A and B are shown apart, each in its own frame.
Chain A
């Protein structure tokens, strides 16, 4: 610190940094390496870093998507491909919906005074921290029993004739059911974080747009949205991350056809054989978040700090 202009630090400092890097990405490296190893090599520990990488685990995991039949497989057991597609559909749609609704609501809360504004902003704040475990019981009950279309109604009959099945048509077991709870769960956070970005948009710009004859929706989409892109990116990443990684609520709502990747990992993690396959599945689940981190770390940090500073 005695030479403020120098960037040179002592040797111990670099060792500390090297250790920190090793510790933070080491486990991710283990995930990657093990996903490229055969089961026997994972448990015996033979070779360490020197081994012949194999994509066999990925072939096993993705067997339902492959156009050819891997030699080592007699039977496609882990249907990771289908789960991957489910995860993708659910995470993308719920992120898009959360962002659209959340930005609009945040805009209303920042720019307008209206009846119910205070109660809305207070209640969003109060439920911002709601854990999925708290929602498990009511969501299970409601999505299975209440949020249903009776089988005797017109729409219910139509759906039953088109898609088959018996009984009432309920939200549980559908993509929409999982998307609905993810959107609701993420909205408070997104509204709250975007408010701090919208406040910074100069009001004069919006007024100028209004003078030029733009309506409120035009002003919102053409003037406000482009200016809060960093906030939108941060909110999108956080929402996607939760929807993509969530296990508990999805496991309560999904059925065999709508299963997401985290459910599949938890269901198969306890089995003894297929260690390599489960690592490959985990690696595939980790790829989108890793990509986000590498390409949008600035936005992630912005979002995180905005969250803490504003409280």
Chain B
């Protein structure tokens, strides 16, 4: 009898520590944030002393031009980095998918940018973008081109370049893995039928890679909405609001403007946006798995 109940308890014993920590420090805070987004909340108050204001925080945000600009900057940033990185990463993978010596060393070097702290990435790029002594301007000067005021005149472009540098390898490595696990038979058949390299890429490789590419794209898109430190160090959100993405605006609303209720409302909006993307990704993989199962099933029926 005791042995039986011990067995019954086993899964709970295994799951309990993680479940407790996540309930306490993840789900409770999220609920707290949603609750706080309906209240006028000042950092010096504890939340029980605050006043319920209904949707006032959300209404204020929707009418706030600074929030609009920040939302727009976030979308522009996220979609441009993801599209540039996808194009670059996938084409590099297609180019480098060959039997060459030292490929693993190459991949190792490519991971490096992703592993380094975003704060440090921001630091280095701020130096490289510096108007007078920055590496990039010095290179431009050396080949006779005019200097560019990167962080002053083209802040969003600079931020995008830094992010593309850091995260293109992510796409590259995932697409390379996808390429190398493609069925050899399909490629072989195409080659025997005389398909050109471009035809092979467009009609065979890319369609077969599509499931992994879509998941990669969604993963990267979700991550692009989380970027904060690189931009914080590089431009601090400025000049003006030109690079103030939502994550940065939340931090500033909470710290500088001391409007916790409004910051909570903004966090809630960002969270919902990301939740939609995550669930979309989840639905896509489920659909993909179901389709694969169905295909296998029909194949077995026929064979």
Give A residues with C-beta under 8 Å from B: 1, 7, 9, 13, 16-17, 20-21, 23-25, 27-28, 30-31, 34, 42-45, 100-102, 104-105, 107-109, 111-114, 116-117, 120, 123-142, 145-146, 180-181, 183-185, 187-188, 191, 216, 220, 241, 244-245, 247-248, 252, 262, 265-266, 269-270, 275, 278-279, 282, 285-286, 289-290, 292-294, 297-298, 300-301, 304-305, 307-311
**Which chain B residues lie closer than 8 Å to A142 at the CB level?**
28-29, 32
Q: Are A187 and B21 in contact (CB under 8 A)?
A: yes
In the bound complex, CA of A309 to CA of B292 (Å): 14
CB <8 Å contact, A17 and B106 = yes
B241-264 vs A, Cβ < 8 Å mask (1 yes, 0 no): 000001110110011000010011
B75 contact set on A, CB distance < 8 A: none
Pick from B112, B117, B254, B274: contact of A245, CB under 8 Å? B117
Cβ B47 vs Cβ A145 within 8 A: yes
> Which residues of B (132-170) have their CB < 8 Å from a CB of A?
132-133, 135, 138, 165, 169-170
A138-B282 in contact (CB<8A): no
Chain A residues, Cβ within 8 Å of B4: none
Contacts A27-B128, A279-B123 aside, 12 further interface pairs with beta carbons under 8 A come to: A7-B100, A43-B132, A102-B18, A105-B14, A105-B15, A184-B21, A245-B117, A262-B229, A278-B123, A279-B127, A293-B115, A308-B215
Q: How far is the CA of A107 from the CA of B229 in the complex (A)?
A: 34
Interface code B73-98, partner A: CB below 8 Å = 1, 0 otherwise?
A: 00000000000000000001001101
Q: Do A24 and B174 touch across chains, with their CB atoms under 8 A apart?
A: no
Contact status of A127 and B19, CB under 8 A, knowing A31-B120, A300-B111: no
Complex: how many Å from CA A16 to CA B132?
A: 29
Choose from B24, B104, B170, B174 the contact partner of A297 (Cβ within 8 Å).
B104
Q: Which residues of A contact B281 (CB under 8 A)?
A: 311
List residues of chain A with CB within 8 A of the CB of B118: 245, 247
The A interface, classified by DSSP as helix, strand, loop or mixed, is helix
Tell me whether B251 and A136 are in contact (CB under 8 A): yes
A191, B18: Cβ atoms closer than 8 Å? yes
Contact string against A for B residues 262-288, beta-carbon threshold 8 Å, 1 for contact and 0 otherwise: 011001101100110111011011001
Assess A134 versus B250: contact at CB under 8 Å? Given A27-B165, A289-B117, A290-B116.
Answer: yes
> Which B residues are closer than 8 A to A by beta carbons?
7, 10-12, 14-15, 17-19, 21-22, 24-30, 32-33, 36, 41, 43, 46-47, 92, 95-96, 98-101, 104, 106-113, 115-128, 132-133, 135, 138, 165, 169-170, 173-174, 177, 197, 212, 215-216, 219, 222, 225-226, 228-229, 232-233, 236, 246-248, 250-251, 254-255, 260, 263-264, 267-268, 270-271, 274-275, 277-279, 281-282, 284-285, 288
For A180, give the chain B residue with the smallest CB separation. Answer: B25
Residue B33 contacts which of A107, A138, A180, A248 (CB distance < 8 angstroms)?
A138
Q: List 25 A-B contacts (CB under 8 A).
A: A9-B98, A17-B96, A17-B106, A21-B109, A31-B123, A117-B11, A124-B22, A127-B22, A129-B278, A133-B226, A133-B251, A135-B30, A138-B32, A138-B264, A140-B254, A184-B25, A245-B119, A247-B117, A247-B118, A248-B229, A262-B229, A286-B120, A297-B107, A308-B174, A308-B216
A134: chain B residues at CB < 8 Å are: 30, 33, 250, 267-268, 270-271, 274
- Decide: B109 and A127 in contact? CB cutoff 8 A: no
A298–B107 alpha-carbon span in the complex (Å)? 9
Q: Are A310 and B285 in contact (CB under 8 A)?
A: yes
Chain A neighbourhood of B165, CB < 8 A: 23-24, 27
Q: Report Cα–Cα, A301/B177, bound state, in Å.
A: 9
For B288, the closest partner residue in chain A by CB is: A311
Q: Identify the interface centre among A27, A109, A135: most chain B CB within 10 Å of its CB.
A: A27
The distance in angstroms between the C-alpha atoms of A293 and B169, with both chains bound, is 13
Given A129-B277, A247-B118, A304-B173, the answer on whether A108 and B267 have CB atoms closer than 8 Å is no
Interface of B is mostly: helix
Chain A residue at smallest Cβ distance from B100: A7
Q: Nearest chain A CB to B174's CB is how many angstroms away? A: 5
Given A137-B264, A269-B123, A311-B282: A24 and B109 interface contact (C-beta under 8 Å): yes
Closest to B219 in A: A308
Distance of A44 Cα from B274 Cα, bound (Å): 45
Measured CB to CB, the nearest residue on chain B to A311 is: B285
Other-chain contact of A266, B232, B254, B274 (Cβ < 8 Å): B232
10 closest A-B pairs by CB: A311-B285, A184-B25, A112-B11, A133-B247, A105-B18, A138-B29, A108-B14, A245-B117, A131-B226, A289-B115
Residues of B within 8 A of A108 (CB): 11-12, 14-15
- A73 vs B15: C-alpha distance when bound (angstroms): 53
Determine whether the beta carbon of B116 is less than 8 Å from that of A28: yes
Partner of A30, one of B10, B110, B135, B236: B135
CB pair A269 B112 closer than 8 Å: no
Q: Tell me if B26 and A311 are in contact (CB < 8 A).
A: no
Check if A187 sits within 8 Å of B112, measured CB to CB: no
Contact indicator A293/B25 (Cβ below 8 Å): no
User: What separation, in Å, do the CA atoms of A127 and B120 have in the docked complex?
Assistant: 27
Taking a contact as CB atoms under 8 Å apart, the answer to whether A248 and B251 are in contact is: yes
Could you say which of A13, A34, A180, A216 has the most chain B C-beta atoms within 10 Å of its C-beta?
A: A216
